[in-house]
Structure 1
Amino acid sequence: MPSIEPKNVTAQILHRARGNPPSTTGYTAISNCFPGLEFDIRGLLRHIFVGVVLHESLPFVVDVEPGGPQELAGSPDWLLVEVEGNQLIGTIMGPRQPNGPSEQLGAFGLERFNALAPIFRNVGQRVRCVFFNTESSQQVEVNLEVRSILERRVGGGGEQKAGPALSKDIAAPGDLTQGLCSPWSADFLECGCYYWAASRPDLVNATAGADGKIDGHNWLHRNRTAATPPQYSIRNSDLVTYEELYRDWEAALKFIIGGKDET
């Protein structure tokens, strides 16, 4: 009986092998609080350039491979900011105060799959990469070879073609899951009434003033007391972190009874 064999890579990727549950396909991923619950697609970019290993979240150099650019070794502060003229870090502009002048407010990492899309066709070729040291402000340009995300196989005519499997050079076993969040902890901190309702309060010890304004404490405010300023005046550094929830949630969080805690 003749069989149908799809030639385009997209159709091959959508194929689900017998015995694999639906959750093994990418389009079923929940991806609620990034990097998601099944895998972190950003892990594919850790080894996209031969010679360096990048962090999956922000393109900092976390390791230099044997034979890689030694000028990037020994410092955790090298950040990939540009590839073949394509910026990976964007500048945020805007007013600090209502109706104020526009000024530079900082930098933000762009979505790397879109930012790097033009270079994916340069598999096996070297591209110009610009690295910036956030500590010393030094800048270095190096030419790095682009790896193929998909496995390369030899076709009938001897030419190389991309197959439906991920390249072993791009993602070793465990690479796409090593940075996954702890779901309850990450979503518990991330989700709130303003975004995605979670089974926790946003504001505790709340009181309403004569003008209708409500003051209270952010529930994630670390080490708060009755004298702690209301929630809108706190800094991010005063809030419970992901790591604290992962490692010591029972000490980091308080019991809330009737909308109030022991403060």
Structure 2
Amino acid sequence: MEPIAPRNLTAQLAYRARGNPPGTTPASSVGNFYPGLELDLRNLWRRLFAGIQLHEAVALVLAADDDAPEEVRGLVGEILLAVDGHPIWIELAGPRAPGGASESLGNWSLEWSNALADVAQKAGQEVRCTFTKGDDDQQEVSLTVQKIFEDAGPEGGEDARTAMLSRRLAQPGELTQSLCSPWQNDFVGCGCYYWAASRPDYVNVEADEADGSRGHNWLQRDRTPTTPKVYTLRQSDLLQHEDIIASWEDKLSFVLEGKDNDERDGD
């Protein structure tokens, strides 16, 4: 009996070859608090447009091919604002604290696989891309969309594709080259009782006058027993990934019965 050879790309991507661990399929690999633990698919989008290389998380042009036209080589250092009418770099707005007024929170990139989903269908075609250096000066450049999957070859028929990622987009090893320090990244990034946060979020809790509660954020920087217990904190008041990676052992307290060792009076 001949083996089944699915033409459907989804079926091919979901197939786990004999001997391969579960993490070798996209559906079962762990890609939680970016850049993930087993693979970083954001690297796949860096070279979606022929001639340039984007940052894996931010719409910044990092490099251009040496043989690219001068107009394309000049895009290095510029921000990609929009592609084929789809916004990429947008202004964020909202309250900085619960109940606060909406205000500008700066600009940021949309997530690649969502923002470029329609564009990726135009492999081989040119699309208009809008770039800026961060000021009001903008320019439009036509760039060719590259294929995400390798072609099956002449024997596969017209437009046949494999489930093999194109080497034009990602060379061997590039999908894993930017992975995080596993437990430290999740430890900081996945709070609020998320599965990866096997740590407290809110400690030394006590009732307040409004039938609510107040306490300490466990990751609050330079906290002592006399530190005020407040609901909201600035990001700069919290320990960051680099703090935990460099020396977690002198920054994190043990927690027993909801209180850490600074609050237990030496118990």
Tell whether the structures are fold-level matches, with TM greater than 0.5. yes
| Correspondences of 1:202-241 after superposition (within 5 Å) | 202-241=201-240
Alpha-carbon distance in structure 2 between the residues aligned to 1:225 and 1:143 = 57
Aligned twin of 2:115? 115
Aligned twin of 1:184? 183
Alpha-carbon distance in structure 2 between the residues aligned to 1:67 and 1:37 = 35
Which range is displaced more, 236-245 or 30-39? 30-39
Equivalent pairs: percent with the same residue? Answer: 45
Contact kept in structure 2, 1:204 and 1:261, CA below 8 Å = no
TM-score scaled by length of structure 1: 0.82
One-letter code of the match for 1:43?
Answer: N
Alpha-carbon distance in structure 1 between the residues aligned to 2:5 and 2:95 = 56
Coordinate RMSD, CA, aligned: 3.1
| Correspondences of 1:8-27 after superposition (within 5 Å) | 8-27=8-27
Aligned twin of 1:161? 160
* Residues 212-243 of structure 1, C-alpha deviations (whole Å, 9 max, x = no match): 44333211111123443324242101111112
| Correspondences of 1:1-263 after superposition (within 5 Å) | 1-68=1-68, 69-73=72-76, 75=77, 78-93=78-93, 104-134=104-134, 136-156=135-155, 159=158, 161-193=160-192, 195-196=194-195, 198-256=197-255, 259-262=259-262
Structure 2 SS opposite 1:72: coil
* Offset at residue 45 of structure 1 (A): 0.3
* Offset at residue 93 of structure 1 (A): 4.7
Structure 2 SS opposite 1:144: strand
With over 3 angstroms needed to count, the CA separation of the structure-2 counterparts of 1:99 and 1:27, relative to structure 1, is closer
Contact kept in structure 1, 2:44 and 2:170, CA below 8 Å = yes
* Offset at residue 96 of structure 1 (A): 7.2
Contact kept in structure 2, 1:255 and 1:261, CA below 8 Å = yes
Query: Can you give the 5+ residue segments of structure 2 that lack an aligned partner in the other structure?
Result: none
* Offset at residue 53 of structure 1 (A): 1.4
* Residues 45-104 of structure 1, C-alpha deviations (whole Å, 9 max, x = no match): 01111222112222222222323423223x3xx321200111123444556798987665
* Residues 119-177 of structure 1, C-alpha deviations (whole Å, 9 max, x = no match): 2232222211112333x453232222211110124323874532221111111122111
**Between Structure 1 and Structure 2, how many residues are aligned?**
259
One-letter code of the match for 2:11?
Answer: A
Contact kept in structure 1, 2:57 and 2:111, CA below 8 Å = no
Alpha-carbon distance in structure 1 between the residues aligned to 2:97 and 2:243 = 33
With over 3 angstroms needed to count, the CA separation of the structure-2 counterparts of 1:81 and 1:199, relative to structure 1, is same
One-letter code of the match for 2:116?
Answer: L
Contact kept in structure 1, 2:97 and 2:232, CA below 8 Å = no
* Residues 181-239 of structure 1, C-alpha deviations (whole Å, 9 max, x = no match): 22321221123345447332223344434554433321111112344332424210111
With over 3 angstroms needed to count, the CA separation of the structure-2 counterparts of 1:117 and 1:98, relative to structure 1, is closer
Query: Can you give the 5+ residue segments of structure 1 that lack an aligned partner in the other structure?
Result: none
Contact kept in structure 2, 1:154 and 1:160, CA below 8 Å = no
